[in-house]
Structure 1
């Protein structure tokens, strides 16, 4: 993504060295990336503009990331292809010669900073949702995006005059290109990557703490049977409590011990429960106290057993709880960010590793052509700008819905 691979082509062929960045198949693959990346990122941007249900704070940041990738596909990659296919002088003039590394820095830095903003936004929305809610507004999100892009342009502006030189209809890098690229490798990759790793690990821990099973009381097993993770009462304890209640009722002044006591079934227990459990009613027994006690015990037992079966063995057609839905949404949103960040690290790690290695071993660039590992790793970095729209369309439900509606030419 720089002008370092633009030496004289005639000298390269005269030396007989193989230049991967000058090969036809390599540049054709870059053209494929240009088409796929431009279409994919353009659709992501257009979807947010067209459909109102996509205009949320997270999607605003995703749109900013799509603009960064679109910047690379539209401005950086075409200049790279031109430099690879040209067989003579640089015909685009000195202005474009100086702007090429500037465009490359803007596309790369904006992508990294936007990923950091997305990761921090997701972490705060999960770790401190109540406090962060008053700041998570569309206006504030747009202000953050604007400030990010201003910082990118200001940071990249010195590269216009420091990294490339135009002389004699030829565009070639300056002598300080190695020091500048090593500094950029640290500032544009190492530091943002550390921030991304720390923030996303914190987000994963926050999600795990929120979604983990709750324990009630010391030593309770959340998977144990019971009502609301509370252990079911012992039948002996239930029987003792009912007998004590009946004894107090029989000792109450003015109450006859020979009158049948009506059975009060627990809340939620229907009359059929006693019938199904073969519990005699109060009018069908000749021993009121004993029958009432046994009936109450059986009624409580049936009620508790039903609650246990409902809580521990939910039916397949039972509607999911709102807590489960929110937990699934938190996991899905974090999975999208984790995949995007992971693909970014995998795609750009080889390129910046070679840049840092070449700083300690300058002999790498003493060959007449650009080293093929550098060219291949740079292609892998360009690939990252193409796969992000595929990740959104395949993992984000709202983007998938918008893509289907656009393909069918439907309005929201």
Structure 2
């Protein structure tokens, strides 16, 4: 009789446990997670395809944006499925711990790669604005290759301790997948977020100060050109938009190294007219040692270069929104994550950790939306691609 009662109690406990496990299943997290994966993959694939197929989008800034999109794609394929599975299980880890270590490695590496890509963009743009001499705007040169490769190598280096056994701590809980070493949590947070972010923001401040001087100098040139057309009747038929305000020697910047002018005083405008017995030669306007033929026959290479400069400036203006969205999404995670590692007595509820982690992953879906809203050429390609898909169906 006692044996029968014991079996009934054990059976009842198993039934209660099963019912509890059923109620712990997080179906909203599963649905939202699947939708998030689809949005991240589709959006970032469109970003990669648009830069690959559209000539107008082949700029150095967009090559870095492709690297950022690749990091987001890898996150959606390698990290999010397992994270969503754990969230669906109510935070319970039921897989092998080696799989957990691989998940933690990829999570740290890809998050670090994202912010390092943004930091590399800020370095490249700061150089392009501050030291524009011989800056290769159209193709990836050695500096961009160094920055792109260095981004991924450093991200892997930050995450490498997880691969080398730092997770193997005594009495490790096999039902939970997390970073076990609090010192590594602080180290990775500092290397991945708290050091790069201030550097990145300072570089962007310097870059946009340079862009502001750039635009002021450009407006000054246009005003000078208008005054010249009022002074010389033969200049009135000139299309001023064809006058590239940037030096030919430095296609990505307004300053010429051979000019004695400084950014605060960048331009000396002069009109040179030379006449010969056989007739006047083409009138030339000189801007900081740069001469433009003012006859209607315009060099198409110069016009193309001016358009590329305009595209690059548009791409650069999207970057503050991308950086702002990244900081908004990931700052709560790193603050909470670091606080939990530094303060052993502080209680951080699981739901708060879940929310800040989800918010960080949502950032991977935001970037393609930002490009669509703020960049006309990305938006045009997305619309064209989606329209062609609808027609094909």
Give TM-score scaled by structure 1 length.
Answer: 0.62
CA distance in 2, matches of 1:127, 1:378: 37
Q: Which stretches in structure 1 are left out of the alignment for 5+ residues?
A: 1-9, 217-221, 233-265, 270-321
Q: Over aligned residue pairs, what C-alpha RMSD do you find? A: 4.0
Instruction: Identify the match of residue 334 of structure 2 among 352, 365, 389.
Output: 352
Instruction: Identify the match of residue 38 of structure 1 among 28, 36, 41.
Output: 41
Q: Which stretches in structure 2 are left out of the alignment for 5+ residues?
A: 1-12, 235-302
Cα distance change of structure 1 residues 45 and 92 upon mapping to structure 2, 3 Å threshold: farther
CA distance in 1, matches of 2:219, 2:369: 40
Aligned position for 1:361: 343
Larger Rg: 1
1:58 aligned to 2:37?
no
CA distance in 2, matches of 1:227, 1:61: 38
1:48 aligned to 2:46?
no
Q: CA deviation at 1:99?
A: 0.4
Number of residue-to-residue matches in the alignment: 301
**Residue correspondence of structure 1 range 15-164 to structure 2 within 5 A:** 23-86=26-89, 90-133=93-136, 137-138=140-141, 140-160=143-163, 161-163=165-167
CA distance in 2, matches of 1:133, 1:379: 39
CA distance in 1, matches of 2:314, 2:53: 24
Q: CA deviation at 1:174?
A: 7.5
- For CA contacts below 8 A with separation 6 or more, give which structure has more relative contact order: 1
CA distance in 2, matches of 1:169, 1:371: 16
Aligned position for 2:194: 190
3-state secondary structure, aligned to 1:129: coil
Q: Decide whether the 8 Å contact of 1:30 with 1:77 is kept in 2.
A: yes
Aligned position for 1:297: none
3-state secondary structure, aligned to 1:163: coil
Q: CA deviation at 1:130?
A: 1.7
Aligned position for 2:184: 180
Give TM-score scaled by structure 2 length.
Answer: 0.65
Q: CA deviation at 1:158?
A: 1.2
Which stretch of the first structure deviates more once superposed, 152-161 or 164-173? 164-173
Aligned position for 1:382: 361
Q: Decide whether the 8 Å contact of 2:126 with 2:204 is kept in 1.
A: yes
CA distance in 2, matches of 1:215, 1:89: 61
3-state secondary structure, aligned to 2:233: coil
Q: CA deviation at 1:345?
A: 0.7
CA distance in 2, matches of 1:342, 1:227: 39
Cα distance change of structure 1 residues 36 and 166 upon mapping to structure 2, 3 Å threshold: farther
1:334 aligned to 2:310?
no
Instruction: Identify the match of residue 378 of structure 2 among 385, 395, 399.
Output: 399
CA distance in 2, matches of 1:376, 1:329: 37
3-state secondary structure, aligned to 1:170: coil
